Amino acid sequence: MAFIKIGQRILTAEQEFFTANVSCIDTGAGLILIDSPCFPVDIEKWRGEIAKFSQDEISYLINTDFHWDHCTGNSRFTTNVIAHDLTYTNIAKQDGTGFRMLLGPNSLISQEVKDASAQIPPALPRITFSETMYLHPGGVNLELLYMGGHTEGTIGIRVVDEGVFFSGDNIVSGMHPFKLQADVPQWIEALKKIQAMDIDTIVPGHGKVCGKEQVGIVLHYFEEMLYRVRSLKEIGYSQDETVESLRSMFYFFPVDERRVEQIGRFFDAGTRRLYDQIIF
């Protein structure tokens, strides 16, 4: 858990918060944030770190997807939020971010933190795009690229001159990729695109900052999963039988022992979704 600098311009809170990794890019002409922490104490801590890093104003905040752990704190940083069209659509839905679900009884968060978090007003993105958006503040070249995969609104952000890519949750390190709302074939394509990019450093949605080797690990996992589910469905396995069989892949990534039950449920539900998506 750390606040780390990547090159001169980028500050990342690597595994610092319970929620997603968050980052700040100092363009020299305003700050660009990537994702926001969720809980009030984390929001304050991150604001403090940003202020130490640069005195510049926050220009924009970019959400890599619509899940609560990426966007709940948006309004505490800026209203200039950029995201994919479908991230907008999902945040606009009744509990589209899954935040209410988090506030329910089955979670590791204390009631005090839940109550404080529930007071944060949601902030919808004000600027959206469908395929690609380019930003050039202060001569820094940023590419916002539609990827899909992990969610229908997942994007990645490439800081071209720094060789850095913010992958959102299409890449995580040291934990399970979350596939409950995923499109696995699209996720595989996204990972292949990332593999082909001219980049050195990846800031994953969760877990430690990594290099391209992590792309291969996640790619192998999903190719194997897709192959197994497709093969089993093809030879007539029912959905339940396929879910049962796929559990052998559960420990492909480390699992937080306090959350085995929850992660297991998400894992199975993601397998069911993939089974339904495969059509011959």
Contacts with Zn ion in 130-189 (CB under 5 A)? 169
Nearest approach, Cβ of residue 42 and Zn ion (Å): 17
What is each CA distance from 11 to 23, 87, 224, 249, in whole angstroms? 6, 24, 35, 34
Q: Rounded distance, CA 86 to CA 129, Å? A: 9
| Minimum distance from residue 53 beta carbon to Zn ion (Å) | 25
By CB under 5 A, which span of 45-53, 67-75, 133-141, 225-233 interacts with Zn ion? 67-75
d(CA 100, CA 272): 23
**Spatial separation of the C-alpha atoms in residues 238 and 255, rounded to whole Å:** 27
Of 10-18, 30-38, 59-67, 94-102, the window that binds Zn ion (rule: CB under 5 A) is: 59-67
Binding characters for Zn ion, 190-209, by CB under 5 A (x = yes): --------------------
Query: 59 vs 68, which CB is nearer to Zn ion?
Result: 68
Q: Which H helix or E strand runs over 156?
A: strand 155-159
Residues 6 or more apart whose CB falls under 8 angstroms from that of 229 comprise: 242, 246, 271, 274, 275, 278
Residue 194, Cβ density class (10 Å: 0-12 exposed, 13-18 middle, ≥19 buried): buried
The rounded distance, in Å, linking the Cα atoms of 77 and 42 is 12
Number of chain residues interacting with Zn ion (CB under 5 A): 3
Least distance to Zn ion from the beta carbon of 29, Å? 29
**Nearest of 73, 122, 67, 76 to residue 98 by alpha carbon:** 67
The least distance separating Zn ion from the CB of residue 28, rounded to whole angstroms, comes to 30
Beta carbon nearer to Zn ion, 42 or 65:
65
The smaller minimum CB distance to Zn ion, of residues 77 and 205, is found at 205
**Cα separations in angstroms, 216 against 77, 192, 203:** 34, 9, 15
Quote the least distance from Cβ 225 to Zn ion, whole Å: 18
Instruction: Tell me the residue number closest to Zn ion, measured at CB.
Output: 67
Our finding on whether 67 is near Zn ion (CB under 5 A) is yes
Is the CB of 26 or the CB of 204 nearer to Zn ion? 204
Shortest approach of Zn ion to residue 169 CB, angstroms? Answer: 4
Binding site for Zn ion (CB under 5 A): 65, 67, 169
